[in-house]
Amino acid sequence: MPPRKPDPGKLREALDAQLVALDQPPYDGPAGALADALVTAVLTAYDRGLRPERDAARWAVRHLLDRLVSAAPGRTVEVRVPPYAAVQAIEGPRHTRGTPPNVVEMDARTWIELAVGRVSWGEAMDKGAVAASGGRADLSGYLPL
């Protein structure tokens, strides 16, 4: 399944709402960099001890999950970041029904930090921030994105 093409208007709206919550001016950069700017804004909220705006966190998570799917296409591992999104990625035996045999689940902050390289897979596992089951449920070879 190819990655989703997010609506730039919705990305911009979520980014601007997050920037306002951070007491920063609205985004004035290139449209092609909206998603990465949104990830940065969400990380800034976390760094300040704030809870990111819901839509901003959702779009940041989806953007980074789509990048994982692009980097590691397949349907062997289901990566879940509730309540925002879940994707299937990584080549191998295809899963079609029921609970997948290879599942990785974590919260949004953990996913974003793993995806951008702020936290390593081993560190996240050691902290218990990631629940991974199945023989192929190790994303360390695909992170950071």
As a whole number of angstroms, the distance between CA 105 and CA 21 comes to: 28
Token pair of 8, please?
Answer: 């730039």
Estimate to the nearest angstrom the gap between the alpha carbon of 62 and the chain centroid.
5
Q: What pLDDT score was predicted for residue 144?
A: 97
Measured CA to CA, the distance from residue 80 to residue 16 in angstroms comes to 26
In which residue are the tokens 């990631």 written? 130
Cα torsion angle, 84, 51, 13, 144, sign: negative
pLDDT, one tens digit per residue, over 78-89 is 999 999 999 999
Percent of the chain predicted with pLDDT > 90: 83
Q: Which CATH number fits domain 8-133: 3.30.70.3270, 3.30.1050.40, 3.40.50.720, 3.20.20.150?
A: 3.30.1050.40
Q: What CA–CA distance (Å, rounded) separates 99 from 110? A: 23
pLDDT tens figures, 48-102: 999 999 999 999 999 999 999 999 999 899 999 999 999 999 988 766 666 778 9
Per-domain residue ranges for the chain? Answer: 8-133
pTM of the model: 0.92
